[in-house]
Amino acid sequence: MDLDRTPDMPVYVIGGGPAGLATAAALREEGVRAVVLEKSPAVGASWRGHYDRLRLHTTRRKSALPGLPMPRSFGRWVSRDDVVRYLEKYAEFHELDVVTGVEVTRVEPVPAAPSGAVPTPGSAPAPTPGKRRRRQPAPAAWLLHATGGRRLLGRAVVVASGYSHTPRLPDWPGSPSFTRPLLHAREYRDPAPYEGMDVLVVGVGNTGAEIAVDLADGGAARVRLAVRTPPHIVRRSTLGWSAQHSAIAVRRLPVFLVDRLARAQSALAVPDLSAYGLPRPAKGLYTRVGEGALPVQDTGLVRAVQRGAVEPVAAVESFDGDTVVLADGEKLSPDAVIAATGYERGLGGMLGHLGVLDDRGRPRARGRRCPAGAPGLYFTGFTNPLTGMLREISLDAGRIAKAIARH
């Protein structure tokens, strides 16, 4: 397919992960032609790169994308490999137009010509020096610059390039002098290479907690978990009732009330780990969520900490040769350091010139709402809510598709 010579302007969806595929399927359902552009060789690239142990923390039923249930054979907590299989089947089932190996590097609005026609890309007149700049009209199309010199015109653009796009590795003082393995969690697959080793995992989000448990179960000689701010720990499921169901039930309640309910539930369901160096957080669960810190779903961390298989320690401050210096002054000499320190959205190069991102590089609007001054530009899949990312992606897909079909 020659993307540069498509006879009509489709909607371009950037990203072939769950958000991009769900939106493309919803657009197809609305009768809108959509083309998914994926820079990797196959759909679901981000999921293919996660560690082997990973399973969804949301239930199978509430993680399915629009129009195709997940098979019951996947179980309640779906594995990474089954998510990848599902995404491949999803694209095939909905007969989605997915073009792989194409990376979009820049997106620009193409203003309408006075006649209402779409001008040739790059032909918009430059503002006259000394004259007051007029308010720019709504774009008649969007121009995408992509690999291979492609220049693609779309009637709208949906950016779904992923929450876990660019690994964030802190620039710790002295870290370049560390001669032992220092890697981001994105590079971790399984515990086999670390058997018999002393490993420090940095970051106590869900990824860091699971990797620490995986290492302890997989034969690492010692596993320490560097913690800057103690997390809220919740049971993934209690008597068959999942944490996701609770999050959905309370999503519209006041923050203070949810904090109280979560505190009471935690006191009953989760042991106090203060004696092991992991005290209960001072701030409430929902308050912390508002600050961007999700609770850790317990998939073995509590038991591992109680039996000493995972040892919580203070946050990493710096490196001194092959020594790691912690915030409390303690010095460690681990054989390897794995940084579960999160991701950047990686949107600056593609969209930073449009003023649609906040000071942290995140979209200013998402779902069916377009950023101010950028009608026809949509974002999905850039939040990770308690109610479940895949669930919210599914809801966003339908809303975005209806908005594009309507306008």
Alpha helices in 251-376 (DSSP H): 255-269, 285-290, 301-306, 348-351
Which pairs count as long-range contacts for 390-395, CB under 8 Å and 24+ apart, including other chains?
390/18, 390/56, 390/58, 390/62, 390/63, 390/64, 390/65, 391/58, 391/62, 391/63, 391/244, 391/248, 393/18, 393/19, 393/22, 393/65, 394/22, 394/64, 394/65, 394/66, 395/367
Do 174 and 258 lie in a common domain?
Answer: yes
Do 386 and 270 lie in a common domain?
Answer: no
Do 352 and 324 lie in a common domain?
Answer: no
Do 282 and 227 lie in a common domain?
Answer: yes
Identify the pLDDT of residue 134. 44
Residue located via tokens 């794995």: 338
Which one-letter DSSP state was computed for residue 62? T
Instruction: Measure the CA–CA gap between 238 and 269, rounded to whole angstroms.
Output: 8
Do 184 and 160 lie in a common domain?
Answer: no
Identify the pLDDT of residue 270. 94
Render each residue's pLDDT in the chain as its tens digit; 407 residues.
344 444 578 999 999 999 999 999 999 999 999 999 999 999 999 999 899 999 999 999 999 999 999 999 999 999 999 999 999 999 999 999 999 999 999 999 998 655 445 555 544 444 444 444 344 455 779 999 999 999 999 999 999 998 777 889 999 999 999 999 999 999 999 999 999 999 999 999 999 999 999 999 999 999 999 999 999 999 999 888 999 999 999 989 999 999 999 999 999 999 999 999 999 999 999 999 988 889 999 999 999 999 999 999 999 999 999 999 999 999 999 999 999 999 888 899 999 999 999 988 899 999 999 999 999 999 999 988 889 999 999 999 999 999 999 97
| Structural domain boundaries enclosing 264 | 169-342
Do 192 and 323 lie in a common domain?
Answer: yes
Compute how many other C-beta atoms are within 10 angstroms of the C-beta atom of residue 99: 15
> 256 lies in a domain?
yes
Summarised one tens digit per residue, pLDDT across range 300-355 is 999 999 999 999 999 999 999 999 999 999 999 999 999 999 988 889 999 999 99
Identify the pLDDT of residue 343. 87
Do 322 and 352 lie in a common domain?
Answer: no
Predicted TM-score of the model (pTM): 0.88
> 126 lies in a domain?
no
Please state the domain count of the chain: 2
At 236 the three-state DSSP class reads coil
Identify the pLDDT of residue 405. 94
Question: Which of 296, 321, 342 is the last residue in one of the domains?
Answer: 342
Summarised one tens digit per residue, pLDDT across range 237-258 is 988 899 999 999 998 999 999 9
Do 141 and 37 lie in a common domain?
Answer: yes
Identify the pLDDT of residue 13. 98
Q: The CATH number of the domain where 217 resides is what?
A: 3.50.50.60
Identify the pLDDT of residue 118. 53
Do 218 and 352 lie in a common domain?
Answer: no
